[in-house]
């Protein structure tokens, strides 16, 4: 049996030290890295080497964002719980090895850091992931490439 998204979020929230509620500025997937959107209160899916805020602990669809744009009473449908400190489930953008550092790919998924000093580090992999789309667990460690 598959857990519903709320149950899944509550199960993983026990490993989150700090999270924030933000408004989705577009479709966001559960386990996807997110960055600040048009305003400080909005988040959108992260992009390759973006300076990320955290990881989405729930999903918001593009249809929900569109409906909210014409009816602000629907704000609860576009709120995203964003983990900013802790160990969180993250979607892998390819094979990952435990102990390695990760950054965001163009789709907000975790990919291995090249180690050439130009990457925006997002965390450290705790559980191997074999392929794209698999869930892994990451200790969030945000570090700019210039640090």
Instruction: Going residue by residue through the chain, which has 147 residues, state the pLDDT in tens, using 9 for 90 and above.
Output: 344 444 454 555 668 999 999 999 999 999 999 999 988 899 999 999 899 999 999 999 999 999 998 988 888 889 999 999 999 999 999 999 999 999 999 999 999 998 767 788 999 999 999 889 999 999 999 887 655
Q: What residues contact residue 9 under an 8 Å CB cut-off, 6+ apart?
A: 30, 57, 58, 81
Separation in Å, CA 9 to CA 99, 105, 116, 128: 24, 23, 34, 21
Phi, psi values for residue 104, rounded to 5°: -90, 140
pTM: 0.87
Residue with tokens 């899916």: 45
Residues linked to residue 42 through DSSP beta bridges, in sequence order: 23
The answer for 139, left when phi > 0, alpha when psi is -120 to 50, beta otherwise, is: beta
């Amino acid at each position: 049996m598959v857990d519903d998204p709320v149950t899944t979020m509550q199960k993983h929230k026990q490993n989150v030290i700090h999270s924030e509620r933000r408004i989705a500025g577009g479709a966001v997937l559960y386990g996807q890295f997110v960055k600040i959107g048009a305003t400080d209160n909005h988040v959108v899916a992260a992009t390759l080497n973006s300076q990320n805020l955290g990881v989405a602990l729930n999903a918001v669809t593009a249809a929900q964002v569109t409906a909210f744009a014409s009816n602000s009473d629907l704000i609860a449908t576009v709120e995203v719980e964003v983990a900013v400190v802790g160990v969180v489930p993250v979607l892998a953008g390819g094979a990952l090895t435990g102990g390695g550092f990760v950054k965001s790919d163009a789709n907000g998924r975790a990919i291995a850091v090249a180690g050439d000093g130009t990457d925006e580090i997002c965390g450290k992999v705790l559980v191997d992931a074999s392929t794209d789309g698999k869930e892994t667990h990451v200790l969030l460690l945000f570090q700019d490439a210039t640090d």
